[in-house]
Amino acid sequence: MKALITRKVGMTSVIDENGEAIAVTLLSATPNVVSQLKTDDNDGYSAVQVGFEQDKKAGKSKSGHFKPAGNMPKIIREFRLSETDDEIKVGDQLEADVFNVGDVVDVSGTSKGKGFAGTIKRHNFKRGRKTHGGRSYRRPGSIGSMYPQRIFKGKKMAGHMGHDKITVKRLKVALVDKDLKVIGVTGAVPGPRKGIVLVREAK
């Protein structure tokens, strides 16, 4: 299983074998601990539950759940498997070297939250004219006619922008440093610095 919970560090650039500078996002890949294995027989699907970082204030229920793994993770995620992997066991540690340079991965994160935004910022609407008596500079304009006396769902209007789960597919692993516990992925990764990022092998 090639999958990890990581934390975004920032961006830098590296020089590839052709001498070109490539933008790379650095991800902190401290060891992930396998906390639970889910099977088709017991749970109806195959998955691996993985824990990341340490929780200093874990409750009793959480402590009991993670006792077999010998670790108290702060962040927990599941990675689906097409079939049960017999090589993975509870308590195993997954480190940065599960990936190799050149691997193609899918990266998931939560995008930056922008708060309440208008239609110009949120949907790239054009502004109205500022001269010749124009008053609708940044207003959305007409949002519908008289019939059917309601607004259809999905209408592009002002509202909450950002803070969505976004997956960027088929990025390449540019560097792997087991000693520094860092993975480098080409291109941009969604989310702010220190945000949680899931990295898994592309299907």
pLDDT tens across 44-88, in order? 999 999 999 998 888 899 889 889 888 899 999 999 988 767 788
Residue range(s) occupied by CATH 2.40.30.10 in the chain? 3-113+165-201
Determine the pLDDT at residue 131.
95
Does 122 score more than 80 pLDDT?
A: yes
Look at residues 54, 50, 22, 24 and name the one whose alpha carbon lies nearest to residue 36: 50
Residue 97 predicted with pLDDT over 90? yes
Whether domain 3-113+165-201 has CATH 3.40.630.40: the reply is no
Instruction: Tell me the average pLDDT of the chain.
Output: 93
Helices (H) and strands (E) in the chain, counts: 3, 12
pLDDT at 57: 85
Alpha-carbon distance of 135 to 151, in angstroms, equals: 24
The predicted model gives 2-30 an average pLDDT of 94
Structure tokens at 16: 């590839």
What tokens appear for 89 in the block? 């066991």
Q: Please state the length of the chain.
A: 203
Total Cβ atoms within 10 A of residue 49? 19
Other Cβ atoms closer than 10 A to 162:
14
How far apart, in whole angstroms, are the C-alpha atoms of residue 149 and residue 137? Answer: 26
Strand blocks (E) in the chain? 3-15, 21-28, 32-38, 47-54, 73-80, 93-94, 104-110, 113-117, 159-162, 165-177, 182-186, 196-201
pTM summary value: 0.87
Burial class (CB in 10 A: 0-12, 13-18, 19+), 95: middle
